[in-house]
């Protein structure tokens, strides 16, 4: 199996993992939305209040669906390289997760996990916006820190976050969380392997 085919399969796993989290999250929180399916003209105000209360859950569910689509498209692209379409989709998906993070902060305050999650979503938006040139220096002093270094830090942090959240969850959602933790292991591996390969070529 060629390296390109192997990467394509890994990206397909990423797509399945985000889809799995969206589905398991939807199943575990469906009770929050059942009043919406009982809509009639007399309870419009109640439905509007429910939306105001629960829109963060919709953002989380939709965000993971969009990221799943993004990874699937990437897996079918030539050389698994992103384009404008995947860049915008990825940024939009993680922007929805950022909205969820702000929603959680609004609900429960500036807890570390809420702030940590929101900050990492900003990091993933940056990743999708800039990953065409991962070895560009961030600090213009002999490229001490490159974009790739930041990506690896983000991937590692998201892996820890999703593993921890999965271990704290007793619902079916924990399986989706653990699968998405695997996504960030894969991304860490792919970007770290690229850097090692480039270093070997220089030598």
Residue 60, token pair as written in the block: 């989380």
Q: What percent of the chain has pLDDT above 90?
A: 52
The residue behind tokens 């820890």 is 160
Residue 14 has pLDDT above 90, yes or no: yes
Sign of CA dihedral 125, 131, 137, 143: positive
Domain that includes residue 89, residue range: 3-202
Higher-confidence residue of 136 and 202: namely 136
How far apart, in whole angstroms, are the C-alpha atoms of residue 80 and residue 144? Answer: 28
How far apart, in whole angstroms, are the C-alpha atoms of residue 6 and residue 148? Answer: 21
Among candidate residues 94, 84, 90, 81, the one with its CA nearest the CA of residue 194: 81
- What's the maximum distance between 2 C-alpha atoms anywhere in the chain? 73
Q: Categorize the per-residue pLDDT at 151 as very low, low, confident or very high, splitting at 50, 70 and 90.
A: very high
Is 105:119 a contact under the CB 8 Å cutoff?
no
Q: pTM to 2 decimals?
A: 0.86
Total domain count, the chain: 1
pLDDT tens readout for residues 32-77: 766 665 655 556 666 666 666 778 899 999 999 999 999 999 888 7
């Amino acid at each position: 199996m060629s390296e390109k085919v192997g990467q394509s399969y890994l990206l397909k796993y990423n797509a399945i993992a985000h889809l799995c989290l969206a589905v398991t999250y939807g199943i575990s929180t469906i009770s929050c939305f059942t009043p919406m399916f009982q809509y009639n003209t007399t309870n419009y105000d109640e439905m509007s209040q429910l939306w105001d209360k629960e829109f963060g859950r919709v953002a989380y569910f939709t965000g993971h669906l969009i990221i799943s689509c993004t990874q699937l498209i990437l897996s079918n692209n030539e050389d698994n390289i992103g384009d404008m379409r995947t860049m915008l989709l990825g940024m939009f998906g993680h922007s929805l997760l950022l909205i969820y993070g702000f929603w959680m902060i609004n609900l429960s305050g500036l807890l570390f996990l809420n702030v940590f999650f929101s900050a990492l979503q900003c990091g993933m938006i940056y990743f999708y916006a800039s990953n065409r040139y991962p070895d560009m220096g961030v600090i213009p002093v002999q490229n001490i820190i490159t974009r790739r270094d930041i990506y690896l830090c983000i991937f590692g942090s998201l892996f820890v976050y999703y593993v921890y959240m999965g271990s704290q969850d007793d619902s079916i959602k924990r399986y989706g969380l653990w699968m998405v933790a695997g996504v960030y292991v894969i991304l860490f591996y792919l970007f770290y392997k690229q850097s090692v390969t480039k270093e070997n070529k220089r030598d």
